[in-house]
Amino acid sequence: MASSCMILQRGIATSCVCHGKRNFRKFLLYNKRGSRAFKEQQAKNPDPDIPIDKRGVKDTGYKRGDEWVHVPEMVPELIVPSLEGFTLKPYVSYRVQNVKSPRFSAHRLFDALYAKKIKEDFEKGELDENGEPLNPSEYEKLTPQEAKDNAGKTGSDIFQLSRRS
């Protein structure tokens, strides 16, 4: 006689839901993915759709067809200044007092550059009848355009030029 009673069981699956599939956009594996043949092919003729991550290192030339053209000017140089006779210490204490200076205006700039020279020229009598100096300094010899060009050169403290026509 066969039993018609069945025993129901509930199973628990412990396998990964993804079944081994991973989202590789989540893992930062630069220049690591791909088979050995793909990497060899990328080394010989890189695919522009799959960029090679250089980790911040800049090229020292450029490719012309299949040929690499080395440019000596693109090789970075480390320029270290000579600190011979340098008396300042490299560390500034956090306890140093905060120095507040007023905003540098055109009036203060004039006082810093020109006022002393004009006063000395006046006292020595080195001004002509129009008030122009007889012995002008290098700054006084500049034309307005030359002064504007010097102010716009690299290293000046004018970062944005506002042009008014």
pTM confidence score = 0.33
**Nearest in space to 59 (alpha carbons), one of 35, 41, 76:** 76
Q: Let me know: does 154 contact 161? Beta carbons within 8 Å.
A: no
Contacts for 53-56: CB closer than 8 Å, 24+ residues apart: 55/30
pLDDT tens by residue, 20-35: 677 777 777 777 778 8
Cα-Cα-Cα-Cα dihedral sign, residues 147, 152, 156, 157: positive
Residue 158 has, within 13 A of its CA and on its CB side, a CA count of: 11
Exposed, middle or buried, 140 (CB in 10 Å: 0-12/13-18/19+)? Answer: middle
What pLDDT sits at residue 165?
42
Tell me the C-alpha distance between 76 and 107, whole Å: 43
pLDDT tens by residue, 70-98: 999 999 998 888 888 888 877 778 888 88
Q: Which residues of the chain have pLDDT under 70?
A: 1-5, 13-20, 48, 155-165
- Spell out the alpha helix ranges (H) of 81-153: 106-110, 116-124, 144-151
What pLDDT sits at residue 159?
53
What pLDDT sits at residue 70?
96
- Nearby residues of 135 by Cβ (< 8 Å), 6 or more positions away: 121, 126
